[in-house]
C-alpha cells in the first residue's frame, strides 16, 4: 500500500478511492480513527522502534540517518480524505536523494 494512502485510511477508516468528508461523521467507532500526527508517528518513529533502530532512524535529529520525503502539499492543510492524493516529489535515504520527480 502506498504510505500516504495508509495514512488516509488510518485517519478515515474508509475506502480511499471513494471516501468523502461527509462520510466521516457516520463511520462506526469514530474513536478508532487516528490523527494525522499519530499516523505519521506510526510510519516513522514507531516503525523505527519496531525494528530496534530508533537511535538511527524514525525522526529528523542531528546524527540520525535522514530518511525523508518531500511532498507536493502540506498534509496538515488537507481534508483527511485527500491525504492519499499527495505525491512524493523527492525521497532521501541516509541524507542522499534517491528519487526526484
Q: How many CA atoms lie within 13 A of 15 on its CB side?
A: 2
Q: Where are the domains positioned within the chain? A: 3-100
Residue 101 confidence (pLDDT) above 80? no
> What confidence tens digit (pLDDT) does each residue in 11-68 have?
999 999 999 999 998 998 999 999 999 999 999 999 999 999 999 999 999 999 989 9
Summarised one tens digit per residue, pLDDT across range 52-91 is 999 999 999 999 998 999 999 999 999 999 999 999 999 9
- CA–CA gap between residue 43 and residue 32 (Å, rounded): 17
* Buried b or exposed e, range 28-59, using 16+ CB within 10 angstroms: eeeeebbebeebbbeebeeebeeeeebeebbe
pLDDT of residue 42: 96
pLDDT value at position 17? 93
> For the packed helices 36-43 and 3-12, what is the interaxial angle rounded to 10 degrees?
140
Amino acid at each position: 500500500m502506498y504510505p500516504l494512502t495508509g495514512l488516509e485510511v488510518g485517519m478515515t477508516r474508509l475506502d480511499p478511492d471513494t471516501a468523502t468528508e461527509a462520510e466521516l461523521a457516520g463511520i462506526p467507532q469514530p474513536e478508532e480513527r487516528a490523527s494525522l500526527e499519530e499516523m505519521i508517528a506510526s510510519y516513522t518513529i514507531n516503525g523505527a522502534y519496531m525494528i530496534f533502530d530508533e537511535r538511527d532512524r524514525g525522526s529528523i535529529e542531528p546524527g540520525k540517518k535522514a530518511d525523508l520525503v518531500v511532498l507536493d502539499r502540506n498534509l496538515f492543510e488537507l481534508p483527511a480524505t485527500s491525504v492519499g492524493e499527495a505525491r512524493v516529489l523527492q525521497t532521501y535515504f541516509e541524507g542522499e536523494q534517491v528519487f526526484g520527480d
